[in-house]
Amino acid sequence: MQVRDAMSSEVLVVGPEHTLRQAAQMMSERRIGSAVVVDPDSQGIGIMTERDVLYAIGAGLDCDTERTAAHLTWDVVYAGPDWTLTDAAAAMARGGFRHLVVIEEGEVLGVISVRDIMRVWAQQRVPIGRTASEQGTEAQV
């Protein structure tokens, strides 16, 4: 299975001047763990995750004044839509992150997360409606 088959194509895009609170509220409303950050004044695409917000709060920063631009990752590892899920999982494991922005020809197509990969792998291994114990096997995810 390919990344395009498991990714979320509805991507939250925020600007670098959004506050951390605004970004967190939008992520929370959509029940997602990341937002793509596009800065029209610079090249490239960044990503902000719930982990970035957590670190800022843990450091005692004011979420109403801190801007996303100061707390995101600009050095993003991108996935291609034709990557396998194993390739995406390996890139995440190597980099120590849980989200990949999916890009094709410079355009953001979606975001794939560890949760997306786990969902697909779990569905492939355990028929819907049956647990691994009902099959007499252990789940292998």
- Is a pLDDT exceeding 70 seen at residue 85? yes
Instruction: For 27-41, write each residue's pLDDT tens digit.
Output: 999 999 999 998 877
- Give the pTM: 0.79
* 102 belongs to a structural domain: yes
pLDDT band at 129 (very low <50, low <70, confident <90, very high): low
Q: What is the pLDDT averaged over residues 46-68?
A: 94
Q: Which residues contact 114 (CB under 8 A, 6 or more apart)?
A: 89, 92, 98, 99
* 141 belongs to a structural domain: no
* 140 belongs to a structural domain: no
- Is a pLDDT exceeding 70 seen at residue 136? no
Q: What is the pLDDT averaged over residues 18-30?
A: 95
Least confident of 12-21, 79-88, 116-125: 116-125
- Strand order through the sheet with 78-79: 78-79, 99-104, 107-113
**What domain range includes position 11?**
3-135
Comparing 79 with 106, the larger pLDDT belongs to 79
Number of structural domains in the chain? 1
- The CATH number covering residue 120 comes to 3.10.580.10
**CA pair distance 122, 59, nearest whole angstrom:** 36
**CA pair distance 114, 108, nearest whole angstrom:** 18
Q: What is the pLDDT averaged over residues 79-94?
A: 95
Which pLDDT score is estimated for 127?
Answer: 57
